[in-house]
Structure 1
Amino acid sequence: MFEAKDFFDLGLKFHGHKCPAMPLGLKAACAAMNALGVERSKDKELMLLAETADNHAMGCFVDGLMTVTGCTYGKSNIKKLYYGKMAFTLIDTKSKKAVRVSLKPKFVDKMLTESPFIAERKKGIPPQDVDPKITDPLIEKVLNLKEEDFLDISPVFDYDFKKIPGVMEADFCDVCGEAVYIDKLKFIDGKQVCIPCSDKIAQK
Structure 2
Amino acid sequence: MEKETEHTPSLEALIQFHGHLCGGLAFAARVCEKATNELGVQCNHGNDLRAVIETTDACGIDAVQVISGCTSGKGNLTILDYGKHAYTFINRRNGEAVRILRHRDFDLERIDPVVAKLRKTVFSGEATEEERMTFDLRMLKVADVILSMPEEELFTVQRFKTEVFKKTKAFEQAECARCGEMVAVNRLNDKDGERLCIPCSEKRV
If the length of structure 1 is used for normalisation, what is the TM-score?
0.80
| Structure 1 Cα separation of the partners of residues 18 and 115 of structure 2 | 17
Contact 1:96 1:161 survives alignment (8 Å): yes
Contact 2:94 2:164 survives alignment (8 Å): no
2:25 maps to amino acid: M
Q: Gapped runs of 5+ residues in structure 2? A: none
CA displacement, residues 88-135 of structure 1 (integer Å, 9 cap, x when unaligned): 21101111111121222111xx21575432321222445994433312
CA displacement, residues 45-86 of structure 1 (integer Å, 9 cap, x when unaligned): 31112233x46xxx3223222221111122221223443321
Does residue 123 of structure 1 match 2:121?
yes
- Shift of the 10–187 alpha-carbon distance from structure 1 to 2, 3 Å rule, reads same
- Shift of the 9–31 alpha-carbon distance from structure 1 to 2, 3 Å rule, reads same
Does residue 152 of structure 1 match 2:117?
no
Report the equivalent of 2:90: 91
Report the aligned-residue RMSD: 2.7
More displaced 10-residue stretch of structure 1: 92-101 or 125-134 = 125-134
Does residue 111 of structure 1 match 2:114?
no
TM-fit CA distance, 1:160: 1.7
1:84 maps to amino acid: G
Contact 1:21 1:60 survives alignment (8 Å): yes
More displaced 10-residue stretch of structure 1: 111-120 or 96-105 = 111-120
Residue of 143, 146, 158 corresponding to 1:142: 146
| Structure 1 Cα separation of the partners of residues 162 and 143 of structure 2 | 33
| Structure 2 Cα separation of the partners of residues 104 and 191 of structure 1 | 49
SS in 1 for 2:105: helix
If the length of structure 2 is used for normalisation, what is the TM-score?
0.79
- Shift of the 115–80 alpha-carbon distance from structure 1 to 2, 3 Å rule, reads farther
Contact 2:46 2:68 survives alignment (8 Å): no
Q: Gapped runs of 5+ residues in structure 1? A: none
Q: How many percent of aligned residue pairs carry the same amino acid?
A: 28
Contact 1:51 1:82 survives alignment (8 Å): yes
Report the equivalent of 1:45: 48
TM-fit CA distance, 1:32: 0.6
Residue of 16, 19, 22 corresponding to 2:19: 16
